[in-house]
């Protein structure tokens, strides 16, 4: 196991980096998710999905209340609060798998942690609300820092992503976030063309220079749709390919919509590329 990655605690769970790939199951409590799986404010449906994901092999349940699809309207604090907090509270109380809150707003993150969340997943890597790092530091919870930008222009794709994420990592450390609590995400589908996304997946291992675990979130993304000419609901096989390729290229967590199927893909990929994995 790489010495620089160590062990990250999420709630009552330990993520022992390098031993296997961890599965993050997506629970969208939005009415307008790009992937067509938005549950809106249906807390019962969110809880049922979280329970099913836990049974299917999820290591983390990621709950988000604001769509990141192109053209989606920003959600104000009160609406995001109304969407995510009741679901997080119910899921955290009923499911042993730790809960992550998918938000870039520090106030929502603080309230989600009070409701039971044990991780923060920031799709803007502290660019929208730097106070998010302070919230993670105060609570002692892991923080996912994703690369994102307004344009699709790069001087050098991977170099620019590494540089941007490096700044986010330093910002988090300066706010008191512990080294072992920082996770990086290259941001598939965010500020990138199809060609950019494919190149990032090919060159994912270059993010290892940051010394932190890598989360890959390519599930049902538009790049898969563009390559296969398929709508979100028919991108299972394409997602499986990105998961397998991502693991082969260094991903430590995969964020997915289909937990059962991707847990199987991850286990097979781990048996092929990691030493000491059961069944290898």
DSSP characters over the chain: --TTT-EEEETTEEEETTTS-EEEEEEE--S--TTS---TT-HHHHHHHHHHHHHHT-SEEEEE-S--STTPPP--HHHHHHHHHHHHHHHHHH-SS-EEEE-S-HHHHHHHHHHT--EEEETTTTSS-THHHHHHHHHT--EEEE---SS---SSHHHHHHHHHHHHHHHHHHTT--GGGEEEE--TTSS--HHHHHHHHHTGGGGGGG-S-BEE--TT-HHHHHHHT--GGG-HHHHHHHHHHHHHTT-SEEEES-HHHHHHHHHHHHHHHSTT-TT-
pLDDT of amino acid 279: 39
**pLDDT single digits (tens) 254-274:** 999 999 999 999 999 999 998
pLDDT of amino acid 275: 62
**pLDDT single digits (tens) 115-155:** 999 999 999 999 999 999 999 999 999 999 999 999 999 99
Alpha carbon distance 90, 95 (integer Å): 8
Q: Which fold has domain 21-273?
A: TIM Barrel (3.20.20)
Q: Is the pLDDT of residue 2 over 50?
A: no
Closest CA to 57 of 88, 95, 93: 95
pLDDT of amino acid 33: 52
Please compute the mean of the pLDDT values over residues 106-123 and round it to a whole number.
Answer: 98
Q: Are 147 and 136 in contact (CB under 8 A)?
A: no
Confidence of residue 75 (pLDDT cuts 50, 70, 90): confident
Of 28-37, 96-105, 111-120, which range is least confident? 28-37
Higher pLDDT, 74 or 14: 14
Higher pLDDT, 74 or 245: 245
pLDDT of amino acid 74: 80
CB neighbour list of residue 33: distance below 8 Å, 6 or more residues apart: 67, 69
Q: What tokens appear for 242 in the block? A: 């990105």
Please compute the mean of the pLDDT values over residues 92-113 and round it to a whole number.
Answer: 98
Residues with a known catalytic role:
221, 255
Backbone phi, psi, residue 11, to 5°: 60, -125
pLDDT of amino acid 108: 97
Would the CA dihedral through 164, 30, 238, 276 be positive or negative? Answer: positive
CB contact burial 136-160 (16+ within 10 A = b; e otherwise)? bbebebbbbbbbbbeeeebeebbee
Please compute the mean of the pLDDT values over residues 55-79 and round it to a whole number.
Answer: 87
Backbone phi, psi, residue 44, to 5°: -60, -45
For 174, other C-beta atoms within 10 Å of its C-beta total 11
Higher pLDDT, 277 or 231: 231
Cα-based distances in Å from 22 to 44, 69, 180, 214:
26, 25, 16, 11
Q: What tokens appear for 236 in the block? A: 């299972």
Q: Is the pLDDT of residue 237 over 70?
A: yes
Domain regions of the chain by residue span:
21-273
**pLDDT single digits (tens) 46-66:** 999 999 999 999 999 999 999
């Amino acid at each position: 196991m790489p010495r620089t990655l160590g062990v990250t605690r999420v709630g009552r769970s330990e993520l022992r980096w390098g031993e296997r790939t961890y599965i993050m199951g997506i629970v969208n409590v939005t009415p307008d998710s790009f992937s067509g799986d938005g549950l809106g404010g249906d807390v019962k449906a969110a809880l049922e999905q979280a329970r099913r994901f836990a049974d299917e092999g999820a290591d983390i349940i990621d709950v988000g209340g604001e769509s990141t699809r192109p053209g989606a309207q920003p959600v104000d604090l009160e609406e995001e609060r109304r969407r995510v907090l009741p679901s997080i509270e119910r899921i955290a109380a009923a499911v042993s798998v730790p809960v992550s809150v998918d938000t870039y707003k520090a106030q929502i993150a603080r309230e989600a942690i009070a409701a039971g969340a044990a991780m923060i997943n920031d799709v803007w890597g502290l660019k929208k609300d730097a106070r998010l790092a302070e919230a993670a530091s105060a609570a002692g919870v892991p923080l996912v820092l994703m690369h994102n930008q307004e344009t699709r222009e790069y001087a050098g794709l991977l170099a620019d992503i590494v540089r941007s994420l490096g700044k986010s990592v330093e910002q988090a450390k300066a706010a008191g976030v512990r080294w072992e609590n920082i996770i990086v995400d290259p941001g598939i589908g965010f500020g990138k063309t199809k060609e950019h996304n494919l190149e990032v997946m090919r060159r994912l291992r270059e993010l290892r220079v940051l010394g932190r675990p890598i989360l890959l979130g390519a599930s049902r993304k538009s790049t898969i749709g563009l390559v296969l000419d398929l709508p979100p609901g028919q991108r299972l096989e394409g997602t499986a390919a990105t998961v397998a390729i991502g693991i082969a290229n260094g991903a430590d967590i995969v964020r997915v919509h289909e937990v059962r199927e991707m847990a199987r893909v991850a286990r097979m990929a781990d048996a092929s590329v990691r030493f000491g994995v059961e069944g290898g």
